[in-house]
């Protein structure tokens, strides 16, 4: 097997570790964090990567061609819905987002969701690659807004942005099996204290990510979308995703 993998930078450390130890050749394409905030942008960016991989595959000698394309994404606000491949199977985890991948399974995420309602999740990758709530980050963002839009508008924009925080009650810190970066757990604990959230440390697991890189891609955990099909969201069950035959214009 030779695997092409497209992933979000929040999983860069874990997946690079797995690639280095994989018994298969794996080549990774990385996308910046935050595209899931605008699912249409995520979908377009991922489709460009899939097209690039397939175009490159056609130019490779047959013995060096990719067997499959793995996506290190969950459903991600429907950002993967609509993706299609023309010549290589696409493998996608059956989960909502990367939190299931960091926790080791979608089932474990659901269990913790019941135990920790209103949890905002932090981990190494999110702290390094994303805008995570903290007094420092909010101060930095307000300075940026003030420089662009003026002081009064900056206050208004920050009030709009912070409105969602009332929905959260808990800070969940996912400890990396590869070892936590110095100061990251303390950063999450401080954020919990600053925003009046409870704090809970949860041990991360590599099971789901390991299976994504190395297989097996069992149907319970992964959708395998064959060529000439496209990915759709499946809201009828915990399976999250399904594939349907593609059409030239992309319509059902």
Query: How high is the pLDDT of residue 249?
Result: 56
Which residue bears the tokens 């697991």?
A: 205
Peptide bond into 216 cis (omega under 30): yes
Of 36-45, 99-108, 117-126, 164-173, the range with the lowest mean pLDDT is: 164-173
CA–CA separation, 202 vs 238, rounded Å? 23
The tens digit of pLDDT for each residue in 168-211 reads: 899 999 999 999 889 999 999 999 999 999 999 999 999 999 99
Peptide bond into 161 cis (omega under 30): no
- Which residues, other chains included, contact 78 with Cβ-Cβ below 8 Å and sequence gap of 6+? 39, 233
User: CB-side exposure of 211: number of CA atoms within 13 Å?
Assistant: 20
pTM of the model: 0.90
Q: Which DSSP symbol is given to 24? A: S
Q: Residue 213, SS3?
A: helix
The tens digit of pLDDT for each residue in 14-40 reads: 999 999 999 999 999 999 998 988 999
Cβ neighbours of 243 (radius 10 Å): 21
CB 155 within 8 A of CB 89: no
**Residue (of 224, 221, 233, 232) closest to 107 by Cα position:** 221
CB 72 within 8 A of CB 104: no
């Amino acid at each position: 097997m030779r695997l092409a993998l497209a992933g979000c930078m929040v999983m860069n450390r874990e997946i690079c570790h797995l690639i280095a130890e994989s018994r298969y050749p794996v080549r990774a394409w990385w996308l910046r964090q935050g595209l899931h905030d605008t699912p249409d942008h995520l979908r377009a960016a991922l489709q460009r990567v899939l097209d690039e991989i397939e175009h490159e595959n056609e130019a490779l000698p047959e013995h060096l061609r990719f067997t499959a394309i793995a996506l290190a994404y969950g459903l991600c606000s429907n950002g993967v819905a609509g993706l299609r491949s023309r010549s290589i199977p696409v493998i996608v985890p059956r989960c909502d987002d990367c939190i299931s991948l960091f926790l080791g399974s979608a089932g474990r995420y659901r269990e913790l969701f019941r135990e920790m309602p209103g949890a905002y999740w932090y981990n190494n990758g999110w702290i390094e690659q994303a805008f995570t709530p903290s007094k420092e980050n909010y101060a930095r963002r307000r300075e940026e807004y003030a420089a662009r839009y003026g002081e009064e508008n900056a206050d208004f924009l920050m009030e709009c942005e912070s409105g969602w925080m009332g929905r959260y009650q808990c800070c969940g810190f996912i400890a990396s099996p590869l070892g936590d970066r110095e100061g990251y757990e303390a950063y999450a604990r401080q954020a919990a204290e600053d925003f009046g959230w409870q704090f809970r440390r949860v041990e991360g697991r590599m099971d789901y990510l390991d299976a994504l890189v190395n297989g097996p891609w069992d149907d319970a955990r992964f959708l395998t979308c064959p060529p000439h099909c496209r990915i759709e969201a499946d809201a009828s069950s915990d399976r999250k995703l399904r594939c349907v035959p593609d059409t030239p214009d992309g319509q059902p």
